[in-house]
Chains A and B, each alone.
Chain A
Amino acid sequence: MIRRLWQIFLAPSSAVMILLFFIPLLIVLFYSLLSRGPYGGVMLPFSLESYGRVFDFLYLEIAWRSFWIAAIATLLCLVLGFPLALYIARYSQRKTLLLNLVMLPFWTSFLIRIYAWMFLLRDTGLINTVLLGAHLIDAPLPLLFNTPAVILGLVYGYLPFTVLPLYATIEKLDPALIDAAADLGANPLVVIWKIIIPLSKPGIIAGTLLVFIPCLGAYLAPDLMGGGKTVMIGNLVQNQFTASRDWPFGAAVSLLLMLAVVAITAAISRKAQDLI
């Protein structure tokens, strides 16, 4: 009876995961091995051509660009998030409130937050309007529709994901270690560099994972803030299923992206386990 109850409880979610998660991925795998149909879609014969095309210079360049954009965004999130996490964990009185304030924008619409930056950065946006009005510049600065803008969008979107795990590890540090170092004459920067950062490694690793993975598969930030000029893997996939109508190639790229995400997660979490 009890066992049956659990099985009934698990049934709807298992059905959803099988029918709407695994089977779609299997169809993607199947399509990636077929040939491109004349009007989109797929047709026989089976072929590995889509996987071969991934190695075209054009697509390798997109993959490489996605990796380094995600890497820079992750690094910036860590560097920018660390002092904030340190402040909240060690110096503030209202930790919960401050942490919630970091998370709150994350839960509101990502699309709208990107739109807000577009409002600030575009040629006729607030920043350029103000600078032009003050006669500091003669022509609008090209702030939007370039790679730095994409990175800004990603950093803005995922900064909370480094602050949270960094806070969690710094908060748990034994204050006696920090006091001891300070007593022995280390200045605050040395304490941070030699004590706090090395001991925050689990938080750094978790933050890296939480930012790098979504950035690697990013779609909206490069699409809107890059203005179609900074193409990342996500945009490539979307394009194959819409404008280019090359479903087998889009399917192959999707699977490789998924594979990369899983492999990176596995590698990083293994590293994290070694530390603990």
Chain B
Amino acid sequence: MMRRFLVLYAALAYLFLYAPLAVLAVFSFNSSKLSVWQGFTFHWYAAVFHNSALAEGAINSFLIATVATIFATTFGTLAAYALWKKRVPWLMQSFYLSLLTPEIVTGVSLLVLFQWIFRFLHLHLGMPTVILAHISFSLAYVVIVILARLRAFDTALEEAALDLGADEWEVFKLITIPIIMPGILAAALLCFTVSFDDYVITSLVAGVNSETLPMIIYGLARKGVSPDINALSMLITCGLGTLILLAGRLEHKTK
């Protein structure tokens, strides 16, 4: 009885979680612009690929996420390793604090910083400010994911290498990094998704020539629903979904 109820409930819960995305997926192939099914078409997908504004947004998003991921993952891996060896409470607390901070507050505080710096230097908001912002808010994610992996790491391996004459740096480079590499890649993939997806912080620190895909989607979503956005949404959802599944698999490997 209980079991039956819970099975039914779980089915409904998954329906709730996936139905909106599934409906969007179906209607991205609808030949009508209205919410009435008319016929199957790839037209909107073709339209996405022929839209130069979207292409520019995609390139911007991709560039920002890639550069931010490279920096955040490198910095985060080094910091996680050091924090695993040695307690640095202020830094650890500041990572938690940064995860806790509402996005809008992170966004305006970075905006205020950049505007303040620009009083002295004649620069403008643009790709570099967006990248700096993304490194800042994604760093904590990287550190926490990698620290979790390191805690499952057998320190005997490091001790053995030290006994055999390796120095600290060699141990880090030749033993620890290769072993936690899947965890680092998982953190990098998560970082990429978080960065690629961000709207709130990005929109505050982006300039006129650094519009990202989420900013374009937001602008169009405010105006109304359009089928090419349905198609674009599906492409992004599938792309990010694949990355996350990949990250999950990698994370599983390290355990």
A interface list, Cβ under 8 A from B: 1-2, 5-10, 12-14, 16-17, 20-25, 27-28, 31, 41, 80, 83-84, 86-88, 91-92, 98, 100-102, 104-105, 107-120, 122, 124-126, 129, 133, 156, 159, 188, 213-214, 216-220, 224, 234, 237-238, 241, 247, 250-251, 254, 257-258, 261-262, 265
Are B197 and A28 in contact, CB atoms less than 8 angstroms apart?
Answer: no
Are A113 and B109 in contact, CB atoms less than 8 angstroms apart?
Answer: no
How far, in whole Å, are A112 and B21 apart by their CA atoms in the complex?
9
- Contact (A17, B23) CB under 8 Å given A102-B17, A109-B197, A241-B108: no
- Contact (A111, B197) CB under 8 Å given A5-B169, A6-B82, A10-B82: yes
B interface list, Cβ under 8 A from A: 1-3, 6-7, 9-10, 13-14, 16-18, 20-21, 23-24, 27, 34-36, 74-76, 78-79, 81-83, 85-86, 88, 91, 94-95, 97-98, 100-113, 115-116, 132-133, 135-136, 139, 143, 167-169, 172, 190, 193, 197, 199-200, 204, 214, 217-218, 221-222, 224-225, 229-230, 233, 236-237, 240-241, 244-245, 248
Task: Give min CB distance, B221 to chain A, whole Å.
Answer: 5
Chain A residues with CB under 8 A of B245:
104
Which of A10, A159, A220 is close to B79, meaning CB atoms less than 8 Å apart? A10
Are B244 and A20 in contact, CB atoms less than 8 angstroms apart?
Answer: no
Q: Identify 28 residue pairs between A and B in the complex whose beta-carbon atoms are under 8 Å apart, listed by A's number.
A: A6-B82, A12-B78, A13-B79, A17-B95, A20-B135, A24-B110, A25-B109, A28-B109, A41-B115, A87-B7, A101-B14, A107-B193, A107-B240, A107-B244, A108-B193, A108-B241, A109-B214, A110-B199, A116-B21, A116-B233, A126-B27, A129-B34, A133-B36, A213-B102, A219-B102, A220-B199, A254-B108, A254-B109
Task: Give min CB distance, B191 to chain A, whole Å.
Answer: 12
Are B75 and A110 in contact, CB atoms less than 8 angstroms apart?
Answer: no
Which of A13, A14, A91 is close to B76, meaning CB atoms less than 8 Å apart? A13
- Contact (A108, B110) CB under 8 Å given A118-B225, A129-B36, A257-B102: no
How far, in whole Å, are A183 and B63 apart by their CA atoms in the complex?
61
Return the chain A residue nearest B95 by Cβ: A17
Counting from the closest, the 8 A-B pairs by CB-CB distance are A217-B102, A13-B79, A24-B109, A20-B136, A116-B20, A9-B82, A87-B6, A9-B78
Are A20 and B113 in contact, CB atoms less than 8 angstroms apart?
Answer: yes
| A interface majority secondary structure | helix
Return the chain B residue nearest A265 by Cβ: B100
Which of B2, B75, B88, B115 is close to A16, meaning CB atoms less than 8 Å apart? B75
Are B112 and A251 in contact, CB atoms less than 8 angstroms apart?
Answer: yes
Task: Give min CB distance, B134 to chain A, whole Å.
Answer: 10
Are A87 and B199 in contact, CB atoms less than 8 angstroms apart?
Answer: no
Chain B residues with CB under 8 A of A156:
16-17, 20
Task: Give min CB distance, B238 to chain A, whole Å.
Answer: 9
Task: Give min CB distance, B146 to chain A, whole Å.
Answer: 11
How far, in whole Å, are A238 and B105 apart by their CA atoms in the complex?
9
Task: Give min CB distance, B106 to chain A, whole Å.
Answer: 8
How far, in whole Å, are A237 and B176 apart by their CA atoms in the complex?
44
Task: Give min CB distance, B74 to chain A, whole Å.
Answer: 8
How far, in whole Å, are A272 and B79 apart by their CA atoms in the complex?
28
Chain B residues with CB under 8 A of A234:
102-104, 200
Chain A residues with CB under 8 A of B86:
6
Which of A86, A247, A254 is close to B104, meaning CB atoms less than 8 Å apart? A254
Chain B residues with CB under 8 A of A88:
10
- Contact (A119, B108) CB under 8 Å given A88-B10, A105-B17: no
Are B112 and A28 in contact, CB atoms less than 8 angstroms apart?
Answer: yes
- Contact (A84, B240) CB under 8 Å given A9-B81, A9-B82, A10-B82: no
- Contact (A258, B101) CB under 8 Å given A105-B21, A108-B241, A129-B36: yes
Return the chain A residue nearest B28 by Cβ: A119
How far, in whole Å, are A25 and B82 apart by their CA atoms in the complex?
26
Chain A residues with CB under 8 A of B83:
10
Task: Give min CB distance, A120 to chain B, whole Å.
Answer: 6
Which of A112, A126, A241 is close to B23, meaning CB atoms less than 8 Å apart? A126
- Contact (A122, B13) CB under 8 Å given A17-B95, A261-B100: no
Task: Give min CB distance, B81 to chain A, whole Å.
Answer: 6
Chain B residues with CB under 8 A of A20:
110, 113, 132-133, 135-136
Return the chain A residue nearest B135 by Cβ: A16
**16 additional contacts (CB under 8 A) given A14-B91, A87-B10:** A14-B79, A27-B109, A86-B6, A87-B7, A109-B236, A109-B237, A115-B24, A115-B233, A122-B225, A188-B1, A213-B100, A217-B105, A220-B199, A220-B200, A247-B112, A254-B104
